Structure 1
Amino acid sequence: MMARLPRAVPAAWLKVHRSLQSGVEGKGAGHGANAGAWWWRRRRSYNTAPTKAALRLPRMEYQDAIMALNTLQTNASTLEQIRREQQLGRTKGTLEAMKSFVHRAGMKIEDFDQLAIIHVTGTKGKGSTCAFCEKILHEYGLKTGFYSSPHLVQVRERIRINGKPISRELFTKYFWQVYNRLDETKDIDAGAMPAYFRFLTILAFHIFLHEKVDLAIIEVGIGGAYDCTNIIRRPVVCGVSSLGIDHVSILGDTMEKIAWQKGGIFKPGVPAFTVSQPSGPMSVLVERAKEIGCFLQLCPDLEDFWSEGERLSLGLAGEHQKSNASLALQLCRTWLQHHNHPDFPPFQQPLDFAERYEMQQPPISSGFCLTTPMINGLRDTKWLGRSQILKRGPVTYYIDGAHTIGSIKACVKWFQEHSLKEAKAVGSGPVVRVLLFNTTGDRDAAALLKLLMPCQFDFAVFCPNLLDMAQNLNAAKCGLDQKNYTVSLENMLSRCLDNHRAWCKLTEVKHDNLWNLTGSTLEGSTTFVKRGGLDEEMLLLRGPECEHITTRALVFPCINNGLQWITQGRDSDLQPSLAKPPNVHPAGVAALKEASSIQILITGSLHLVGGCLKLLDQSLSQ
């Protein structure tokens, strides 16, 4: 259903028109001096004047912009058609369509050459790598732009300037500039508007050009070769983080096929770096580099870098972050070399680089002495929803958006290490471990859940990525930024039940031992309790006759209900559910109420993590 947009309000337009003239959110005090004489800004002309479309803007409110943006979400049938076309190799048209949208939005592809781009792809770790790069280069006094996906709480998190999500005012202003330009030129492309991610990519480039950032760090959405971010012609440097199996319906079902897609961001004459990869996909990356004419190098271990007296530490937890940090250091040094920074001599790409690939392995780049901005940047990097710990009295939330085999393995290692330290600190009191889990897309939930088994959870809780059951009736209170029109509520709940079945099978809990809300055994193959429609609560709980099995599995209809049950009122900062509280079977409640510590691992989906953070940290919604 298309959202109705409010009519234009002249007074609101006047306010925005003034902000266009004054140039809100400039470089910031002392920026030019900090950047130093080594960096000169490219000032090629880019038209920033309001267009005719901008004069017909709707009310300039953030929520109106998000409502309009949500109309660009692709429905399930269209998504399936896109997947079929991608499987048939008809994806080259994606970039041609993107170029057309960029032109209709009032830009040229050549304009993006001004942005001094770092382009990063990979299966896991690409967001963290970009976050490290952003912080390091901002420490050098540069005005940074960073485009990433998905967002956790608010859409504007995807477009960051100087390490912070763009303000609501600027998002709204620039959104309507781009949206109205595209809307008034729909007839050019038979009434087409770009889909959600394409639009946000165009918007990010538009914002970075208008805000005159010194550099733009661009994280690939999915894949690389045909990702809409790959309209970039001349990045300064490219990076490939760790590869793994993900998005198989789009990228292919082997790591070699996926590596081919990721290597598609390489550009002729542009240096590129990757981290250690399995031999098969590494060979593919090398072949792609040779074919395209790109000098690909392998990052050294983080231990191969050194500093003069300053201790090296990472702001992001987990052993896996070391390779991301190493990749970020190489990307940042190359960017600085390209712009003649005095700390690093200019990079000279060897003419015979294709001959340097031995045994399908790229040459290893050398470590180097880290500068103070690099050390400070690595130490101070923050990246919400990744290896994040939130302590609330007796309740500790371990939050990690891992959703692939490799990232779940890293998540398990991180959780076991830190939860064990906490348990030892608690002493002799009982500690209860709870898993809060969901998956999206075509991911193999059973494979991910199997990797989580060593954590020895006392309870496993499954819920869709819905904040609250009231979200379906009152989106304004729950947040339009997290509305998802690409999948139905029934499908989301069915996915949770599939995850629940997989967990029960792993823990040898039989479905005929599931109990409903009143405590009576479910009959036959019944999979969920339906009371007056899907707007009411739905809960599955292992029955008390199975006490010899330690893990109990539950399904809730929304995140809020799940968290309310897990915490049992022991987190005073957790806001109560907008819907009526679920009528929960009493089994297990005493253990949660009496525990000295409740350790909750939230994982499997970045969208689940985003919903949890919205409920747990109100400041993220401001």
Structure 2
Amino acid sequence: MSTRTYSDAIECLNSLQSNKATLDAVKATGGRLNDLAIPEMVEYWERIHNHTRDELNTLNVIHITGTKGKGSASAFTSSILCHVKPEWKIGLYTSPHMVSVRERIRINGTPLSEEVFAKFFFEVWDALDANTQRKNPNTPVRPMYFRFMTLVAFHAFIKLKVNATVLEVGVGGTYDSTNIVPRPVVTGITSLGFDHQGVLGNTLGEIASQKAGIFKEGVPALTVSQPEEGLKSLRKRAKELELHLIEVPSTGFSEIKLGLAGTHQASNASLAVKLAQIFLRQKASIEPEYPLPKSYIDGLQNVRWPGRCQTVPDPGHRRITWFLDGAHTPESLDCCMQWFVSPGVGLTLQPSPRRPIRALIFNITHGRSGNSFLAAMQTAQATQLKIYGRDEDSQTFFDHVIFCTNVTYVSGSWKKDLTAVSTSEQELAQLKTQKELASAWSEQNPSFPQSSIHIVPTIEHAVNVVRGLESESNDTDVSVLVTGSLHLVGGLIEAASLSDIAL
């Protein structure tokens, strides 16, 4: 039993992934199958080493949800706590991962080691095997992938005796598997928008109601500035629970160089600061200070969150720079383009006839509308060029576009941690999504040369296309934006051998 490795754990974990047909069936119900999510999750938890639901309160949870920015806000919050209380153990649970599954479970910002991850993984795996008694015999012996990972995280944090847990919601709020914590210390909501899964409701108000499902009676609840429709739903739920909803403005960061790029990060940083202040007042009797003390500023400046508005010089190809952003909703893609189409990133600092070759690597998942996503990017791109007074044609802003699948290697194999069984093998073989994206790009950019549109079957193929541009570029630099999917960005980090720098 003790010889089981991290690789063994990942093989077992991947066996819990839902196939595409199962995911489509859940979507077809409008998410109503989620009604069983919380009672089932509680039952799974109680089957593991006699854990109790109330025991989760000892984790001292800061619970964070939202449509975009919840991962960044979680990373900021964890980093602040680590700097204010360096003697503490700060647990951080997020999803998805970039390259390695163990990135989802961190202590003081560092992922669990492979050995420690495997230990806790198999403690949960074996406990569910040993205790198969269920209230509902139709409930699977083990939960699906994300629920299982949440159980592993909870179990690990309890065994490691963390002082605080920053807990990022997976999807939504009300029915999310993280929402079995009876009483978090404080909850927070980042920017609201339309989730790409499309199962949480058709209006912003309905989406906000789902996110507000993490609110608990008597627990402080925070939100960043929201559209009025969403804010109305959040206030309604807060009133039902007789709690005060604190609305956090995005101010006070003009003199601080945040560790995460993008103007939208000010909102996430503001929320993180307020979450940390409330938490530290309750759990460490530390009163908020204004202006922010050095420990808070250090936490904001030194945060690391790979794959979000991240610039990575290629260590083996000096003229290639990768710009990585796992944006996968219309709102996050708009933020991505605000970041990339700005001086010092995708634009030269001053208008110049000599600029880097620009390439876009793009993919989407889960049946999202490629046409609308690309159109939104195009609109944001044109707006940014106008803001900065650049007379470039937005249709030819990129010199090359590359549409690929999320399969990692040219061989057709995946890195184990990045394997996705929900992807249709037939669609992969036919490059259906990639061809649709290429067609949408051509329709939206009729002057774009067809020879500069590349449809390739793997991420490694896309990397090879970029490196081919470098070799043909006659000493011109190559700037590559990789976006549309966190899975794509994670696979790119692996396929381009960027892990040592990017992670």
TM-score above 0.5, yes or no: yes
Matched, 1:389 2:311: yes
Assess if the C-alpha contact under 8 Å between 2:341 and 2:347 holds in 1: no
Equivalence for 2:462:
562
3-state SS, counterpart of residue 274 of structure 1: strand
Cα distance per residue 1:450-495 (max 9 Å; x no partner): 13323611111100111113143xxxxx521011111223324211
Matched, 1:329 2:210: no
Equivalence for 2:80:
136
3-state SS, counterpart of residue 118 of structure 1: strand
Question: Which one has a bigger Cα radius of gyration?
Answer: 1
Matched, 1:97 2:40: yes
Question: 1:377 is matched with which residue: 299, 305, 308?
Answer: 299
Cα deviation for residue 426 of structure 1 reads 11
Cα deviation for residue 610 of structure 1 reads 0.3
Matches within 5 A, 1:147-166: 147-166=93-112
Matches within 5 A, 1:598-617: 598-616=478-496, 617=498
Distance 2:366 2:399 in 1: 27
Matched, 1:507 2:445: yes
Identify the structure with bigger relative contact order (alpha carbons < 8 Å, sequence gap 6+).
2
Letter of the structure 1 residue corresponding to residue 405 of structure 2: P
Distance 2:415 2:197 in 1: 31
Matched, 1:237 2:186: yes
Cα deviation for residue 92 of structure 1 reads 2.2
In the superposition, the TM-score normalised over structure 2's length comes to: 0.89
Matched, 1:67 2:7: no
- Give the 3 Å change call, closer, same or farther, for CA 559–278 of structure 1 in structure 2: same
Equivalence for 1:579:
none
Cα distance per residue 1:19-48 (max 9 Å; x no partner): xxxxxxxxxxxxxxxxxxxxxxxxxxxxxx
- Give the 3 Å change call, closer, same or farther, for CA 248–73 of structure 1 in structure 2: closer
Cα deviation for residue 404 of structure 1 reads 1.1
Matches within 5 A, 1:167-186: 167-186=113-132
Equivalence for 1:400:
325
Q: Mark the runs of 5 or more structure 2 residues left unpaired by the alignment.
A: 382-393
Equivalence for 2:406:
465
3-state SS, counterpart of residue 323 of structure 2: strand
Distance 2:334 2:274 in 1: 25
3-state SS, counterpart of residue 383 of structure 1: coil
Cα distance per residue 1:214-264 (max 9 Å; x no partner): 000000000001111111110000000001111353211221111110011
Matches within 5 A, 1:514-593: 542-543=450-451, 552-568=452-468, 570=470, 590=472, 593=473
Equivalence for 1:495:
433
- Give the 3 Å change call, closer, same or farther, for CA 327–430 of structure 1 in structure 2: closer
Cα distance per residue 1:298-351 (max 9 Å; x no partner): 002322x79xxxx5221111100000000000000000111242434xxxxxxx
Equivalence for 2:391:
none
Distance 2:16 2:124 in 1: 13
3-state SS, counterpart of residue 287 of structure 2: coil
3-state SS, counterpart of residue 469 of structure 1: coil
Cα distance per residue 1:253-300 (max 9 Å; x no partner): 221111110011000000011011111111011101111233211002
3-state SS, counterpart of residue 119 of structure 1: strand
Assess if the C-alpha contact under 8 Å between 1:145 and 1:216 holds in 2: yes
Distance 1:481 1:421 in 2: 31
- Give the 3 Å change call, closer, same or farther, for CA 421–95 of structure 1 in structure 2: closer
Equivalence for 1:486:
422
Cα deviation for residue 508 of structure 1 reads 2.3
3-state SS, counterpart of residue 199 of structure 2: helix
Distance 2:305 2:453 in 1: 30
Assess if the C-alpha contact under 8 Å between 2:56 and 2:154 holds in 1: yes
- Give the 3 Å change call, closer, same or farther, for CA 248–621 of structure 1 in structure 2: closer
Cα deviation for residue 207 of structure 1 reads 0.3
Assess if the C-alpha contact under 8 Å between 1:267 and 1:293 holds in 2: no
Question: 1:77 is matched with which residue: 17, 21, 35?
Answer: 21
Q: Mark the runs of 5 or more structure 1 residues left unpaired by the alignment.
A: 1-7, 14-58, 345-366, 473-477, 511-540, 544-551, 571-588
Assess if the C-alpha contact under 8 Å between 2:360 and 2:482 holds in 1: yes
User: CA-atom RMSD, angstroms?
Assistant: 2.3
Matches within 5 A, 1:285-434: 285-303=234-252, 311-344=255-288, 368-392=290-314, 393-419=318-344, 423-424=348-349, 429-434=354-359
Letter of the structure 2 residue corresponding to residue 135 of structure 1: S
Cα distance per residue 1:156-201 (max 9 Å; x no partner): 0000001011110100011110001112233534553100000000
Question: 1:257 is matched with which residue: 193, 206, 224?
Answer: 206
Assess if the C-alpha contact under 8 Å between 1:419 and 1:599 holds in 2: no
In the superposition, the TM-score normalised over structure 1's length comes to: 0.73
Distance 2:502 2:257 in 1: 30
Distance 1:90 1:176 in 2: 28
Distance 2:147 2:447 in 1: 44
Equivalence for 2:171:
222
Question: 2:377 is matched with which residue: 444, 452, 464?
Answer: 452
Distance 1:621 1:199 in 2: 27
Equivalence for 2:148:
199
Letter of the structure 1 residue corresponding to residue 285 of structure 2: H
Bigger drift between 206-215 and 177-186 goes to 177-186
- Give the 3 Å change call, closer, same or farther, for CA 301–423 of structure 1 in structure 2: closer
Equivalence for 1:266:
215
Matches within 5 A, 1:39-78: 59-78=3-22
Report how many residues are paired: 475
Cα deviation for residue 427 of structure 1 reads 6.2
Assess if the C-alpha contact under 8 Å between 1:302 and 1:325 holds in 2: no
Equivalence for 1:26:
none
Distance 1:439 1:421 in 2: 22
Letter of the structure 2 residue corresponding to residue 382 of structure 1: R
Identical counterparts, % of pairs: 37
3-state SS, counterpart of residue 113 of structure 1: helix
3-state SS, counterpart of residue 250 of structure 1: coil
Distance 2:284 2:491 in 1: 43
Matches within 5 A, 1:10-29: 13=2
Assess if the C-alpha contact under 8 Å between 1:147 and 1:219 holds in 2: yes
